[in-house]
Amino acid sequence: MSDAAPPDFPLDPAALLGKLARLGPVLAAADTLTQLQAATADALHSGLGATSAAILPEADLAETGPLTLILALRARRSMGALRVTFGAPRVLSGSEQLFLDSLVPQLCAALERLDLDGPHAGQPGEGTEVWEHNEALDAFTQFTALAATTRDVPALARRAVQVLQTTLGNVSVAYYEREDKLWKAHVWSNDISAEVVAAIRAGVPLDAPSFAGASDLEAPLFVSDWNAQIEQIEETRDYGAVAFYPYRLADTPPGLLVIGTQAGHQWTAREQRVFRAVGRSLGLALERASQAWVLAERTEALDAFVRFSEGSALSSDLGELAQQAFSVLETFFPGCTCSLHERRAEAQTGPPEPRWEIEYYTHNISIELAEIVLAGLPLDTPLFAAALKSGEADFVDDWFSQVPGSNEPFRTTGVYPILIGGEIRAFLSVWLKISGTWQARDRAIVRAVGRSLNLALERAAATEELRRQRTELLARTQALEAFASLTRDLTLQAEEVTLVHRAQEVALSLLPQGCALYYRPQGALWRLISQIGSLNAPALQAAIDAGLPYETTLNLLVPWQTRQPYYQAQYDRSTDNLEELTDKIGATAALPVLVAGQPVGVFVVALFGHRTWTPADRSSLEAVVGSLSLAKEGARSVLALRARSAELERSNSELEQFAYVASHDLQEPLRTVTSFAQLLVGKYRGQLDPKADVYLGMISDGTARMSRLLQDLLTFSRVATSAQPMQVVPTGDVVAAVLSDLQDQLNRTGASVSVLALPCVWGDTTQLRQLFQNLIGNALKFTASGRAPEVRLSAERDGSHWRFSLSDNGIGIAPAFFERIFTIFQRLHSREEYEGSGIGLAITRKIVERHGGEIWLDSQPGQGTTFYFTLPDAPQETR
């Protein structure tokens, strides 16, 4: 058989006739059975889409399966059958059936030709046996012709009855199915008497010996000595021999094909062969019909799911979705009653235990049953118990035992649990007035509709949750925006009452008419700090103004101690022991105001009517109070920062004043000491002993060094006290002037200085000149031995500033001293190694910081140092 994929089936009738015309010569030319097999298989594959085809002897027919079609073949000396197998259950079209009907005679002719031409041609055969085989195959062929075109079980059974009577002659035939605890006849031949028909229709006990034996054996059973009394069917006493062919198929009630003859005799090989052939063909047809029904059931379930899904995708309304589900179910189960029960949670006032309450139902329910289900069913109602436990659909066959007291003519019920968020929230119920068991098709339909309804309700629940979150977020955002607009400048004022007052205004703007109050505990009382709105109760207002008891005012104490909001939809007058004063108060909300995790007050809103606090209400209030907490915390931080800044400013001012006084006022006594020291040196040098000369020299050096330190200290203090106004400073010109001042030092050290293009900055020209002079001077001072100094200065933009870098190839600085070198009078080397007082870099940092910049360095000992500092760019309008 070809491996190529077959085309879509069924083919056009003209195409099939063309294939049949081309096949005839091929079959006629076949010389061997193998060639005949191959030609037939290719034709059936390309014409009908068969997956395989084979010509078999009759003995091999037991190997057939549910997707197989059997066609009898009878030649003069040989018998067999054509087995055709399909990949899926199929019902042949009229043109396809005609194709097979025309193919069979051609195959029979080809087989007869092969017999006549074979090695046994002309030899006498077992004529009787051949005719018996032919007769069985003929019966088999008659039956399979119908079986390929129908899925109706009664029709198949009637055809089996007809074929058996036609083939075997004087036999009676009946087809039974198991119902409850009986074998009941559904189809029977016309020769059976009315008395017997009545008996077999009423049912044969399951334990009737021959019936039970055939069913248990699951193989044909031939009884030659029938005993009606033993079989518990007195009406069949005229029968002498009976044969049974059992059927046991998935999703189909067990069945029995039974034949009987009134003449008591042994069943002949011919009769057994014919009965087996017809029984086997009926079994294959039943199995094929069962497969087709399963496929049809799945298709119908899918169609139901599609129809409902298309409708439910357009709505999120529970009532509309339920009615759509009912409409689909009524299409499949005419006259059914449908309902949707929801689980009702406990109300805020403490109702009885939750129950299953019917929300939507079809209107063909009786008043009596409506009274039962409308009152609500207990959570452990047997109707829902199994589905509630398993979380899956449950189908009940005995309605009366499920709802005691109901006289409703319903016999079977199916319930499908609706799960939302992993919890069973509702049940879809289908009630039928027919008795019997739920079939697979019916279960599949209920499940499909229930699943689609579940998906739709989940989508509706998700939509509602998103809407609720959106509303809550909008309310919170509005509250935050309103509070932010009111408190934008309050952190600078840092006044607690003003912050609270504005928070109260925002809270009341989001709620119905009411009053907002803010309390803080003082000793044994709650003191009112701020209030917006009137309580409309002078006596209550007087009590609040006087202070409420700390321990017994629970509306304030609970949120203070738990640090959680305390909401009352209807204010309980006993909460604060103010029963006679609070008759006009409706809903209340009390929220703690926390700063650094600790309560500092209680924010209360009192409304004049009942109000269920919605998630949006709670979010709004909690957002306002949360913002108030942050604002109060920020205000405290502002106050602390202000105090700290004032303290630092005072300390810095005192230090600068001290440095100025010390460096200025100490100059006069130092000059006196220096002058007299110089007089002593001039008058007595060489006239005293050598030690005196050394002492005088040390006095002179010390006073000179002291003078330099005082001058440096004065310079350091003047960075803040004698600063000049900021202006545009071309740093290139400033650096050029500094290099001119340092020309002698440059010549002496042989240094090279590379200066790239430098920008204009916003600064103090005098201080910037000192800045560059200190840094370049240090680069020329701290040089490595045997290496001429190299200095490089550049700048690049860094946002609103310019970042300068000045690098050298000097001795470098260890990372441990990066911060120390900026401390006043801190030196890393002795005066004998390098001159200076150790104040130059401290002045440099002070200048940079006064300009709003930063200074830092990167250095490798022995390789050099790079100083980085930032200065503000000159404003555009000043250039």
pLDDT in tens, 163-191: 888 878 788 999 999 887 899 999 999 98
- Residue with the bigger pLDDT between 20 and 618: it is 618
Query: Taking 50 as the threshold, does the pLDDT of residue 349 lie above it?
Result: no
Interval 393-444: pLDDT, tens: 888 776 554 444 455 566 678 889 888 877 888 888 888 876 667 777 788 8
Query: Taking 80 as the threshold, does the pLDDT of residue 689 lie above it?
Result: no
Q: pLDDT averaged over the chain? A: 78
The mean per-residue pLDDT over the stretch 471-481 comes to 67
Q: Which of 183, 261, 278 is nearest to 222 (CA)?
A: 261
Structure confidence at residue 46 (pLDDT): 83
Strands (E), 552-597: 566-568, 588-595
- Residue 110: count other Cβ atoms within 10 Å of its Cβ: 24
From CA 112, how far away is CA 79, in angstroms rounded? 10
Q: Which of 270, 184, 199 is nearest to 237 (CA)?
A: 199
Contacts (Cβ under 8 Å, ≥6 apart) of 264 = 224, 225, 226, 240, 241
Instruction: Give the pair of three-digit tokens for residue 799.
Output: 């946002």
From CA 743, how far away is CA 454, in angstroms rounded? 91
Strands (E), 107-240: 172-179, 182-188, 204-205, 221-223
From CA 573, how far away is CA 388, in angstroms rounded? 42
Query: Taking 90 as the threshold, does the pLDDT of residue 559 lie above it?
Result: yes
pLDDT band at residue 125, thresholds of 50, 70 and 90? very low
Structure confidence at residue 796 (pLDDT): 94
Instruction: State whether residue 512 is helix, strand or coil.
Output: coil
The mean per-residue pLDDT over the stretch 343-347 comes to 59
**Which of 62-76, 296-310, 607-621 ranks highest by mean pLDDT?**
607-621
From CA 284, how far away is CA 247, in angstroms rounded? 10
Tell me the C-alpha to C-alpha distance, in Å, between residue 93 and each of 16, 52, 89, 148, 425.
11, 19, 13, 9, 49
Instruction: Give the pair of three-digit tokens for residue 122.
Output: 């002309």
CB 501 within 8 A of CB 532: yes
Contacts (Cβ under 8 Å, ≥6 apart) of 478 = 510, 620
The mean per-residue pLDDT over the stretch 300-313 comes to 64
Residue 565, preceding peptide bond in cis (omega within 30° of 0):
no
Interval 316-336: pLDDT, tens: 677 788 888 888 888 778 778
Quick one: which H or E segment has residue 832? none
The mean per-residue pLDDT over the stretch 860-875 comes to 91
* Ranges 378-387, 619-628, 667-676: which has the least confidence: 667-676
Query: Taking 60 as the threshold, does the pLDDT of residue 146 lie above it?
Result: no
Structure confidence at residue 74 (pLDDT): 62
User: Packing angle between helix 840-850 and helix 765-781, nearest 10 degrees?
Assistant: 140
Contacts (Cβ under 8 Å, ≥6 apart) of 5 = none
Tell me the C-alpha to C-alpha distance, in Å, between residue 750 and each of 735, 747, 775, 781, 794.
18, 5, 18, 12, 21
Instruction: State whether residue 367 is helix, strand or coil.
Output: helix
* Ranges 52-56, 257-261, 485-489, 713-717: which has the least confidence: 485-489
Q: Which of 56, 92, 59 is nearest to 73 (CA)?
A: 56
SS3 of the chain: helix, strand, coil, percent, to 5: 50, 20, 30
* Ranges 292-296, 661-665, 694-698: which has the least confidence: 661-665
The mean per-residue pLDDT over the stretch 524-547 comes to 91
Interval 595-631: pLDDT, tens: 888 999 999 999 988 888 888 788 888 888 888 888 7
Structure confidence at residue 525 (pLDDT): 93
Structure confidence at residue 678 (pLDDT): 75
CB 722 within 8 A of CB 841: no
Query: Taking 70 as the threshold, does the pLDDT of residue 203 lie above it?
Result: yes
Query: Taking 90 as the threshold, does the pLDDT of residue 35 lie above it?
Result: no
CB 218 within 8 A of CB 246: yes
The mean per-residue pLDDT over the stretch 442-452 comes to 85
Q: Which of 807, 842, 792, 836 is nearest to 822 (CA)?
A: 842
From CA 857, how far away is CA 848, in angstroms rounded? 14
Structure confidence at residue 593 (pLDDT): 92
* Ranges 124-138, 301-315, 516-530: which has the least confidence: 124-138
Share of the chain above pLDDT 70, in %: 75
Please give the single-letter amino acid code of residue 505. Answer: E
pLDDT band at residue 872, thresholds of 50, 70 and 90? very high
* Ranges 345-354, 590-599, 759-768: which has the least confidence: 345-354
Instruction: Give the pair of three-digit tokens for residue 285.
Output: 């047809």
Query: Taking 70 as the threshold, does the pLDDT of residue 874 lie above it?
Result: yes
* Ranges 669-678, 736-745, 776-785, 792-801: which has the least confidence: 669-678
Per-residue DSSP letter, 438: P
The mean per-residue pLDDT over the stretch 464-489 comes to 66
From CA 571, how far away is CA 540, in angstroms rounded? 14
Structure confidence at residue 131 (pLDDT): 44
From CA 511, how far away is CA 606, in angstroms rounded? 10
* Ranges 206-220, 340-354, 383-397, 639-653: which has the least confidence: 340-354
CB burial of 149-181 (b: ≥16 within 10 Å; e: otherwise) equals ebbebebbbbbbbebbbebbeebbbbbbbbeee
User: Packing angle between helix 94-117 and helix 13-29, nearest 10 degrees?
Assistant: 0
Q: What order of strands is seen across the sheet that includes strand 752-755? A: 752-755, 790-798, 801-808, 864-872, 855-860
Structure confidence at residue 120 (pLDDT): 41
From CA 454, how far away is CA 446, in angstroms rounded? 12
